[in-house]
């Protein structure tokens, strides 16, 4: 599946800085159309899977759905800054490297560093303040 994903992501041209950048400048609709097509197809597929209820190799189907946490916004914002300046994301960077854009390797090094760094920060963070319920 990884191969298929990587193949289509690269073949879609999203590895090209210009495609994403122009999309973020709201000049080029490719990225949005593609995401819509992806999510639309997947949503239909998932609905069909749910009706079936079972996965092929892993028992009952559980599609994760998470309530919104603050971290989604904080992390989302930080990610968005990188995404905006670099017009890339973890998957696209691989597509970029594969199509000969060696700068993608620089971004990837940064991504691995950022993932690692967040792990350290998260491990050091104090536990959430206890709720009133905990004190009772």
Of residues 38 through 77, those in contact with other proteins by CB under 8 A are 38-43, 45-46, 48-49, 52, 55-69, 71-77
Contact between 28 and other proteins (CB under 8 A)?
no
DSSP 16: S
Contact between 125 and other proteins (CB under 8 A)?
no
Contact between 37 and other proteins (CB under 8 A)?
yes
The CA distance from 8 to 1, in Å, is 11
Tokens 């189907």 -> residue = 61
CB of 64 or CB of 135, closer to other proteins: 64
CA distance to 8, 9, 18, 128, per residue, from 5 (Å): 5, 6, 21, 37
Closest CB 63 distance from other proteins, rounded Å: 5
CB of 112 or CB of 124, closer to other proteins: 112
Contact of 92 with 29, CB cutoff 8 Å: no
Contact between 127 and other proteins (CB under 8 A)?
no
Angle at 92 between CA 87 and CA 97, to 5 degrees: 105
Contact between 13 and other proteins (CB under 8 A)?
yes
Closest CB 136 distance from other proteins, rounded Å: 29
């Amino acid at each position: 599946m990884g191969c298929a994903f990587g193949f289509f992501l690269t073949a879609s041209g999203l590895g090209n800085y210009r495609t994403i950048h122009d999309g973020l400048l709201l000049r080029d609709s490719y990225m949005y159309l593609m995401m819509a097509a992806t999510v639309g197809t997947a949503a239909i597929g998932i609905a069909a899977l749910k009706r079936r209820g079972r996965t092929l190799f892993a028992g009952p189907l559980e599609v994760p759905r998470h309530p919104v946490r603050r971290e989604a916004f904080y992390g989302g914002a930080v990610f968005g800054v990188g995404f905006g300046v670099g017009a890339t994301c973890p998957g696209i960077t691989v597509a970029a490297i594969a199509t000969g854009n060696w700068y993608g390797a620089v971004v990837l090094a940064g991504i691995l560093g950022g993932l690692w760094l967040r792990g350290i920060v998260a491990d050091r963070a104090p536990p959430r303040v206890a709720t009133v319920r905990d004190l009772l």
